[in-house]
Amino acid sequence: MDKPNPEYTIIYRNIKHPRLEYKTGTLTLILPKTHKSPEQILQKYQKWIKRKQQTIQEALEQAKTKTIIQNRTEKQLKQIVNTLAQNYQKELNTHINKILYRKMKTKWASHSKNGNLTINTLLKHLPQNLIEYIIYHEITHAIERKHNEKFWRIITKKFPDYKTKEKDLLTYWFIIQKHIKQ
């Protein structure tokens, strides 16, 4: 997986600056419509790409040994999420407008500018501690939208091991994808 020229897909959009994503284990280059050279971007971000590839490879290896997933119902998931959201809103002094549930292809959850929390129904397969982390992470976006220093300071107060949780979430992503295809 540590190839100099990894496989990738290109999406052209009306944006100013190119960006790279590895949301589902596949490299995606999101480029301005006028951008002509994806090779330049690949070269510029070669170290970042290699780090991401290594992280994904480690998660795939770990996914082979971690086979325990939860089999909650969506009703049980909603009860857990609603309780956590109420508690974390109080703790962080924030407000969630409403909580929506749907199966999502590239993320565990999201927090909209309108204050809505969208939860991936696949969370029902995660261990409780990772659900807690995801909900806290998303509610923290009500305070700070971006993943910047302020955001991670808030996260670290509650979850000093957040980097481990992020790695575990990637591992579980692959485990659950394999599970739902069976």
pLDDT at residue 39 greater than cutoff 90 = no
Taking the C-alpha atoms of residue 53 and residue 8, their distance in angstroms, rounded to an integer, is 12
Q: Report phi then psi at 106, rounded to 5.
A: -130, -5
- The confidence score (pLDDT) of residue 162 equals 95
More confident residue, 15 or 137: 137
What percent of the chain has a predicted confidence (pLDDT) above 90?
49
Instruction: Give the predicted TM-score (pTM) of the model.
Output: 0.76
Q: Residue for token digits 């600056």?
A: 17
Domain ranges of the chain: 8-65, 74-181
pLDDT at residue 86 greater than cutoff 90:
yes
**Greater pLDDT, 25 or 102:** 102
pLDDT at 37: 79
**Top-confidence range, 23-27, 46-50, 136-140:** 136-140
* Amino acid making up residue 85: A
* pLDDT value at residue 66: 65
Give CATH superfamily name and number for 74-181: Metalloproteases ("zincins"), catalytic domain (3.30.2010.10)
Does the pLDDT of residue 41 top 90, yes or no? no
pLDDT at 112: 94
How many angstroms separate the Cα of 36 from the Cα of each of 5, 22, 110, 161?
17, 21, 32, 41
Tokens found for residue 170: 């990637």
Mean of per-residue pLDDT scores for the chain: 87
Flag whether pLDDT at 182 surpasses 70. Answer: no
Dihedral sign for Cα atoms in the order 139, 144, 149, 154: negative
Query: Is residue 75 pLDDT above 60, yes or no?
Result: yes
SS3 per residue for the chain: CCCCCCCEEEEEECCCCCEEECCCCCEEEEEECCCCCHHHHHHHCHHHHHHHHHHHHHHHHHHHHCCCCCCCCHHHHHHHHHHHHHHHHHHHCCCCCEEEEECCCCCCEEECCCCEEEEEHHHHHCCHHHHHHHHHHHHHCCCCCCCCHHHHHHHHHHCCCHHHHHHHHHHHHHHHHHHHHC
